[in-house]
Amino acid sequence: MRYAPRRSGTPRWVLAAFIAALLGLSGARVALAGAVDPEGMADPVLQARYEVLIHELRCVQCENNSLADSDASVAADVRRQIRSMLQAGQSNEQIKAYLVSRYSEFILFKPETSWRNAWLWSLPGVLLVIGVLVAVRVIRQRATLIDNDDGDLSPP
Amino acid sequence: MKPRFLIPLGVFFGLVVVLAVGINHSRDVGVLKSPLVGHEIPDWELPVLTDPSKTLGSRELKGQWYVLNYWGAWCYACRVEHPTLLAAQREARVQIIGVDWVADNPDENAAALDLLARMGNPYRQVVVDRDGRTAIDLGVAAAPESFLVNPQGVIVYKEPGIITPESWQREFLSRLPPAPAHAGGS
């Protein structure tokens, strides 16, 4: 291996072309992602709410896609439904409640904070407390080990 | 000496229980349980496939048992289900209303009529859901899906996929009032 700088290294223009191609590709991806949902809303305020909603709601057919990511026809239908409900002046909560009443809570990516879901939301906290308790015990034990150490390293 | 060696054993059996429950439910993963079961079916009214000037809807069907079956000519699984529906129609225990879900298929209605002509028509009537609005209102995610509706208009069962001869017996016929004696059959 030689690490000496070489005059005839990768030409600048190749690098530039490579970077341009990468940028172009990512641009194309963004364009593709946008192409799933060409329909938008004329009102920018409603459009912003629409964007939030379609990212928070699941496509019911292709479960791990959001409505925004899915080109399934049922997702397009649900998006259309959301647009018409937004236009009719319904709140985000009303729209979500309607879809939950039809498709169950499953359609929400983020579970509701309700008593029914309390165990789900409290689980990380409970696990943290258990972890802290275990850590405290282990640290205490180690501390007593050091206290009892008489420093004699020679075998008995 | 405390029996500390029992702790990992306990954790192990705890894990076994959790995983067993998980495996037991893995069949249900991805099956949406409809929140509408046990409630009145949302009002629907759709144009008839063979005569779009006429409509059929939940109000007209009040007082009768019916199965509402979402399907489409584009839907392969619906073709798998088709023979079961034809057999059910011959049994004549309950009327089956088909909903042709257009779902962006450009010539869905012609294709649907063609399919019924070739494979047989199990439906008392077929209506058309062109924009998918009724599908959303009924919580339909993917065809085929079927609702069993009682004379009060309440959804007593929802089949989230293909109806098989077994599930027709188990989930649909068992919920219907007993067949009149002269009807014979099973």
Closest CA to A79 of A60, A104, A105, A63: A60
CB contact (8 A) between residue B104 and residue A78: no
How far apart are the C-alpha atoms of A124 and A130, rounded to whole Å? 10
If DSSP codes are grouped into helix, strand and coil, which group holds residue B157? strand
Structure tokens at B167: 């599930």
A9 found inside a domain: no
Q: For residues A101 and A119, state if they share a domain.
A: no
**B145 to chain A, closest Cα gap in Å:** 12
pLDDT digit string (tens) for B90-130?
998 999 999 999 988 888 999 999 999 999 999 999 999 99
Residues of chain B neighbouring A99 (CB-CB closer than 8 A): 136
A139 found inside a domain: yes
Kindly tell me if the per-residue pLDDT of A76 is higher than 60: yes
Residues of chain B neighbouring A71 (CB-CB closer than 8 A): none
Q: For residues A42 and A54, state if they share a domain.
A: yes
Residue B29 pLDDT:
63
The CATH number given to whatever domain includes residue A68 is: 1.10.8.640
pTM above the 0.90 mark? no
Give the residue with greater pLDDT, A117 vs A92.
A92
Going from the C-alpha of B173 to that of each of A80, B66, B67, B88, the distances in angstroms are 37, 12, 11, 9
A4 found inside a domain: no
Residue A30 pLDDT:
47
ipTM of the complex as predicted: 0.78
DSSP B26: G
CB B67 within 8 A of CB B97: yes
- Find out whether the peptide bond into A44 is cis, omega within 30 degrees of 0: no
A131 found inside a domain: yes
Q: For residues A119 and A90, state if they share a domain.
A: no
CB contact (8 A) between residue A103 and residue B131: no
Q: For residues A88 and A129, state if they share a domain.
A: no
pLDDT digit string (tens) for A96-117?
999 999 998 888 888 777 777 8
**Torsion sign (Cα): B56, B59, B63, B64:** positive
Residue B15 pLDDT:
94
Q: What is the mean pLDDT of residues A27-36?
A: 48
Q: For residues A103 and A128, state if they share a domain.
A: no
> What's the pLDDT band for A81 if we cut at 50, 70, 90?
very high
State what percent of residues in chain B have pLDDT above 90. Answer: 74
Q: For residues A103 and A119, state if they share a domain.
A: no
CB contact (8 A) between residue B131 and residue A80: yes
> What's the pLDDT band for A72 if we cut at 50, 70, 90?
confident
A11 found inside a domain: no
pLDDT digit string (tens) for B125-169?
999 999 899 999 999 988 899 999 999 999 999 998 899 999 999
How far apart are the C-alpha atoms of A61 and B52, rounded to whole Å? 29
Structure tokens at B145: 């899906």
**Torsion sign (Cα): A87, A67, B32, B124:** positive
A142 found inside a domain: yes
A55 found inside a domain: yes
How far apart are the C-alpha atoms of A24 and A28, rounded to whole Å? 6
A71 near B CB under 8 A? no
Token look-up 């009060």 returns B152
Please tell me which of the candidates B30, B35, B132 has its beta carbon nearest to residue A74: B132
pLDDT digit string (tens) for B12-24?
999 999 999 888 8
> What's the pLDDT band for B185 if we cut at 50, 70, 90?
very low
A10 found inside a domain: no
Q: For residues A28 and A84, state if they share a domain.
A: yes
Please tell me which of the candidates B35, B36, B141 has its beta carbon nearest to residue A74: B141
**A4 to chain B, closest Cα gap in Å:** 58
Q: For residues A49 and A78, state if they share a domain.
A: yes
> What's the pLDDT band for B82 if we cut at 50, 70, 90?
very high
The torsion region of residue A151 among left (phi > 0), alpha (psi -120 to 50) and beta comes to left
CB contact (8 A) between residue B132 and residue A102: no
The class level of CATH for B32-178 reads: alpha beta
Q: For residues A84 and A106, state if they share a domain.
A: yes
pLDDT digit string (tens) for B9-68?
999 999 999 999 888 877 666 666 788 999 999 999 999 999 999 999 999 999 999 999
What is the 3-state composition of chain B as percent helix, strand, coil, each rounded to the nearest 5?
A: 40, 20, 40
Q: What is the mean pLDDT of residues A89-102?
A: 93
Kindly tell me if the per-residue pLDDT of B182 is higher than 90: no
Q: For residues A96 and A138, state if they share a domain.
A: no
Q: Report H helices in B92-150.
A: 108-119, 133-137
Give the domain range for residue A75: 19-110
**A130 to chain B, closest Cα gap in Å:** 14
DSSP sequence for chain A: ---S--TTSS-HHHHHHHHHHHHHHHHHHHHHHHHT-----SSHHHHHHHHHHHHHBB-SSSTTSBTTT---HHHHHHHHHHHHHHHTT--HHHHHHHHHHHH-GGGBSSPP-SGGGHHHHHHHHHHHHHHHHHHHHHHHHHHHHHHT-----S--
Residue B106 pLDDT:
85
The DSSP H or E segment spanning B7 is helix B6-25
> What's the pLDDT band for A148 if we cut at 50, 70, 90?
low
Kindly tell me if the per-residue pLDDT of A35 is higher than 70: no
Closest alpha carbon within chain B to A100: B35
CB B71 within 8 A of CB B135: no
For chain A, the domain total comes to 2
